[in-house]
Each structure stands twice: as structure tokens, then as C-alpha cells.
């Protein structure tokens, strides 16, 4: 156990299950680097216990400054906090909470994480081009939010279950459209950014052969899945000569705003941190 000073700020990640979370590794690295005598701990919270957990937080229990929220609580906690910001409302899920002025506030930092990861890649965004997002789940919502916030004029969603893609298109408005899986080859033509948010190609599924060379010149292929780092889709794109960005940076960058809220310092996503997480995978 880390010896934590009485008044040192404490943060947590709650979920069920929670043992797989890499957030403690990331935040403890930043705490140690900054010399902050705070703590960051995983806490297993069953859905039935969430209201009581949140009530204790609101009471300012034991110096807790806030924390991360993962499955299955990302939607339910939005109903229990005092305020959610516009980003969390648009994405429809919360992953970060903090106490401020006696109120428990909530946001979703996945959109920031995705954008900051691409910024850090130095490969650049070409907003003049359309973006193509594969998948229409929770992660896809955060990506679409990021793309719209960054000024993409057209975001096209392709999903196995087309009704889910349509729901997202309706949710995010006229710049977003829904398309069928079989249209993927045609949609790739001239696209500037391809984002995979699915586990396609893993767990025994096969990726259809895609012609990424049909994308716009300077196009970028990125994946938000980071285990393995080189997903089948990234491998295919690399083999075709496309520039790619893996998903690990999104995980690291999404953790930055939370750490800053709880501990008062904006931490850096370093190569050393990336290596630390890779060694733990």
C-alpha cells in the first residue's frame, strides 16, 4: 500500500469488473512523477451500489477529489451527479467526475483523448476531407463528437447494424450520415480519415480486404482499439503504404483532463508512460 498523507487528494476508478483497468497505472505514474502524495485506486462498485457510492462522494467523503467511471456505470452515473457538461451530454456517457464548489460534476474525456492523440501524432487532420467511422457503439459517439468539434464537414458512419448508425446520425445532425457495410469500399474513395472503433478482425472475425489506397492523398487510418497495438485494420493499411495511428495514445490522453481536475497539475503523455502501459499489456 502507498502511504498517503492525511489530506492528500484521492481519486478512483469505478466499474464492475474493474481489475482490468489500466487507469491506476497511468495516474500513479503521474502522481509519482509530480511528487504528489495522492492516491488513485480501483474500486469495484456493483450497479445496485452506485447511488450510495455517489452519495458518499457528494458528502466529500474522505478527501476524494473525483475519479473515472467505466462500464457498466457510464450512463447511470449521469443521472446521479449534480451537473454534466455539454460534451458528456452529446456523447451520452460520463467517464470522469470531480468535486468542484461542493458539486459533483461530470464530463467525458474520450473525445479530447482521440483528438489529442491525433494532434500528438503530427500527421495532421485534413478537415476538408470527409471522415469515415466504422462502428456505432459508445466509443464511436466520442469519436464523432471529436470530429465535429474539430470542424469536419462530413462524418460518415458504417456499421454492421445499420439502425445503430442511423440513430447516431440523427443524434449528431446533418454533418453525420449512416451507411451500410457493403458500401464501405465506395465510401473509402477520397476519404481523408478512417477510424475503426470495432473489434473487427479480432476474436475469430475476418476483415474484408479494403483498398485504403483509394483514400485521399495524405489520408490517415486510425484505430481506437489498442490491444493489440497493431490491429488487423492498421496492419492492412500499413501494408498498403498508408499513415496510421494506433489507439493507445487515446487512452493516455483521455486521462489528462481528469488528473488535472483532481490533482491540479496537467500531466504529460510521455514515451516512458506509453512504454510502461505496453509492458503491462
From 78-86, 134-142, 241-249, 268-276, span contacting ligand ATR (CB under 6 A)? 134-142
Minimum CB–partner distance for residue 225 and ligand ATR (Å): 8
Query: Residues at the annotated binding site?
Result: 21-23, 70, 86, 95, 110, 135-139, 159-164, 224, 226, 247, 254
Minimum CB–partner distance for residue 201 and ligand ATR (Å): 8
Q: Is 135 in the site for ligand ATR (CB under 6 A)?
A: yes
Minimum CB–partner distance for residue 198 and ligand ATR (Å): 3
Q: Is 161 in the site for ligand ATR (CB under 6 A)?
A: yes
Q: Is 205 in the site for ligand ATR (CB under 6 A)?
A: yes
**Among residues 46, 56, 103, 160, the one that binds ligand ATR under rule CB under 6 A:** 160
**Among residues 137, 175, 238, 240, the one that binds ligand ATR under rule CB under 6 A:** 137
Q: Which residue's CB atom is positioned nearest to ligand ATR?
A: 137
The verdict on whether 58 is a catalytic residue reads no
From 34-42, 146-154, 199-207, 270-278, span contacting ligand ATR (CB under 6 A)? 199-207
**Among residues 95, 96, 129, 198, the one that binds ligand ATR under rule CB under 6 A:** 198
Bridge partners of 120? none
Q: Is 157 in the site for ligand ATR (CB under 6 A)?
A: no
Nearer to ligand ATR, 36 or 143 (CB): 143
Count the neighbouring beta carbons within 10 Å of the beta carbon of residue 15: 21
C-alpha 244: how far from chain center: 18
Q: Is 159 in the site for ligand ATR (CB under 6 A)?
A: yes
Are 159 and 181 within 8 A, CB to CB?
A: yes
Q: Which of 48, 58, 74, 235 is catalytic?
A: 74
**Among residues 36, 78, 139, 251, the one that binds ligand ATR under rule CB under 6 A:** 139
**Among residues 70, 199, 238, 240, the one that binds ligand ATR under rule CB under 6 A:** 199
Handedness of CA 179, 185, 187, 191 (dihedral sign): positive
Measured CA to CA, the distance from residue 32 to residue 19 in angstroms comes to: 21
Q: Is 136 in the site for ligand ATR (CB under 6 A)?
A: yes
Minimum CB–partner distance for residue 204 and ligand ATR (Å): 9
Q: Can you give the three-state secondary structure of the chain, one letter per residue?
A: CCCCCCCCCEEEEEECCCCCCCHHHHHHHHHHHHCCCCEEEEEECCHHHHHHHHHHHHCCHHHEEEEEECCCCCCHHHHCCCEECHHHHHHCCCCEEEEECCEEEEECCHHHHHHHHHHHHCCCCCCCCCEEEECCCHHHHHHHHHHHHCCCCCEEEECCCHHHHHHHHHHHCCCEEEECHHHHHHHHCCCCEEEECCCCCCCCCCCCCCCHHHCCCCCEEEECCCCCCCCHHHHHHHHCCCEEECCHHHHHHHCHHHHHHHHCCCCCCCHHHHHHHHHCC
Catalytic residues: 74
Task: Point out which residues bind ligand ATR (CB under 6 A).
Answer: 135-140, 159-161, 164, 197-200, 205
Amino acid at each position: 500500500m502507498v502511504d498517503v498523507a492525511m489530506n492528500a487528494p484521492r481519486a478512483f476508478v469505478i466499474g464492475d469488473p474493474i481489475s482490468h483497468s489500466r487507469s491506476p497505472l497511468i495516474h500513479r505514474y503521474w502522481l509519482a512523477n509530480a511528487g504528489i502524495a495522492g492516491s488513485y485506486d480501483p474500486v469495484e462498485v456493483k450497479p445496485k451500489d452506485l447511488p450510495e457510492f455517489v452519495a458518499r462522494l457528494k458528502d466529500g467523503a474522505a478527501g476524494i477529489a473525483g475519479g473515472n467511471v467505466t462500464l457498466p456505470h457510464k450512463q447511470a452515473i449521469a443521472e446521479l451527479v449534480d451537473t454534466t457538461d455539454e460534451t458528456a451530454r452529446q456523447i451520452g456517457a460520463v467517464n470522469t467526475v470531480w468535486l468542484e464548489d461542493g458539486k459533483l460534476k461530470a464530463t467525458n474525456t474520450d473525445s479530447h483523448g482521440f483528438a489529442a492523440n491525433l494532434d500528438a501524432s503530427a500527421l495532421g487532420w485534413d478537415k476538408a476531407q470527409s471522415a469515415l467511422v466504422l462502428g456505432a457503439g459508445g466509443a464511436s459517439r466520442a469519436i464523432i463528437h471529436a470530429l465535429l468539434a474539430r470542424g469536419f464537414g462530413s462524418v460518415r458512419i458504417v456499421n454492421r447494424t445499420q439502425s445503430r448508425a442511423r440513430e447516431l446520425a440523427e443524434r449528431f445532425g446533418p454533418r453525420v450520415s449512416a451507411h451500410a457495410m457493403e458500401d464501405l469500399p465506395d465510401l473509402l474513395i477520397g476519404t481523408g480519415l478512417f477510424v475503426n472503433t470495432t473489434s473487427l478482425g479480432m476474436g475469430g472475425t475476418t476483415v474484408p480486404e479494403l483498398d485504403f489506397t483509394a483514400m485521399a492523398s495524405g489520408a490517415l487510418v486510425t484505430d481506437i482499439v489498442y490491444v493489440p497495438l497493431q490491429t488487423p485494420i492498421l496492419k492492412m493499411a500499413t501494408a498498403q503504404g498508408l499513415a496510421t495511428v494506433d489507439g493507445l495514445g487515446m487512452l493516455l490522453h483521455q486521462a489528462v483532463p481528469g488528473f488535472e481536475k483532481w490533482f491540479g497539475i496537467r500531466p504529460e503523455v510521455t514515451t516512458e508512460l506509453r512504454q510502461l502501459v505496453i509492458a503491462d499489456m
